Structure 1
Amino acid sequence: AWLGCALWVIGYSAANGYNLTPEEVSTVLGFPGWVFWGVVAPWMTANAFTFWFCLRALKNDEDEEESP
């Protein structure tokens, strides 16, 4: 998930963040559009995946012997 996020951030930001005139820059929640979709959204998605993984998919190993 994090590798995919990193590749998206680099690729999307490189393709959409350069050579923009001030008139072409739109904003989303106060961020330039390319920053929101190229950085903020993938980071939030990766964080949500990590949060889900830690709570649902990651399990403790059972001890072979029970502690007293």
Structure 2
Amino acid sequence: MKKKLAGILSFVLVLSLLVTGCTSNGSKEDDDGTVTIGIMQIVEHPSLNMIREAIIEELDAQGYKDGENIKIEY
């Protein structure tokens, strides 16, 4: 049972590394100079919503405003 679970976890890890490695290098920059930032949140949950909002607030505090110089997709 433990070998099977370890095998499945190893497969998932290798698959995720392959998918991550096959993405384009660098950040995506639109024609107008804005950078697109993606936040992956599969489900709505109060704690996950707080994390997403904190990320957006910290970006704002660093001078990155959604719709001005960055585009946030979630």
Normalising TM by the smaller chain, what interval? 0.3 to 0.5
TM (norm. structure 2) is 0.35
TM (norm. structure 1) is 0.37
Higher strand share: 2
